[in-house]
Amino acid sequence: MMERAPHSPMIGTGWLQGWRLTFGGEDVGWEGALATIVEEPNSQVFVVLYDVSPYDEPSLDQWEGSELGLHKKIRLRVQTLEGSVLAWLYVLDAYEGGLPSARYLGVVADAAEAAGAPADYVEDLRTRPCRGIGP
């Protein structure tokens, strides 16, 4: 995120209640499927919150492929230790399914671990099915 939005500091972490992490868009042309979220009762997704500056928002939108229709931005309530906050999230505009590459899944797991996700959550990420070998 520091490369994509260098003027947008991390401001905390939280959980999306009633959503789960999944993967889709495998046919778009990357090494495998991309991370996204879908609604699912009794599930939750660990998220990192950033204060995205107006300077960084256009480049972040471009990086996420918003102008190409790859992602859409939705606003959801995130539960934090300080209470609930509204946040913008990029959600893949593609069908769920497909496997992420081992490299990509490793990046996702490493980022969750660095942000302070619980060890069992990180372990679940690291042991998900994936394509190919990791780094």
> Tens of pLDDT along 68-115?
657 788 899 999 999 999 998 888 888 888 899 999 999 999 999 999
Domain assignment of residue 87, yes or no:
yes
> Tens of pLDDT along 102-129?
999 999 999 999 999 999 999 999 999 9
Provide the number of structural domains found in the chain.
1
- Edge-first strand order for the sheet with 34-50 is 34-50, 10-24, 71-80, 83-92
Domain assignment of residue 75, yes or no:
yes
Who has greater pLDDT, 43 or 133?
43
Domain assignment of residue 2, yes or no:
no
What sections of 1-128 are H helices per DSSP? 57-63, 102-114, 119-126
Domain assignment of residue 116, yes or no:
yes
Domain assignment of residue 82, yes or no:
yes
Picking from 127, 126, 132, the residue whose alpha carbon sits closest to that of residue 111 is: 126
Domain assignment of residue 134, yes or no:
no
What sections of 66-117 are H helices per DSSP? 102-114
Please report, for the domain that includes residue 115, its CATH number: 3.10.490.10
What is the overall mean pLDDT for the chain? 85
Expressed as residue numbers, the domain containing 37 is 10-126
Domain assignment of residue 1, yes or no:
no
pLDDT band (50, 70, 90) for residue 8: low
pLDDT confidence of residue 67: 61
Domain assignment of residue 39, yes or no:
yes
Distance separating alpha carbons of residues 33 and 17, to the nearest angstrom: 23
Buried b (16+ CB within 10 A) or exposed e, 82-102: eeeeebebbbbebeeebbbbb
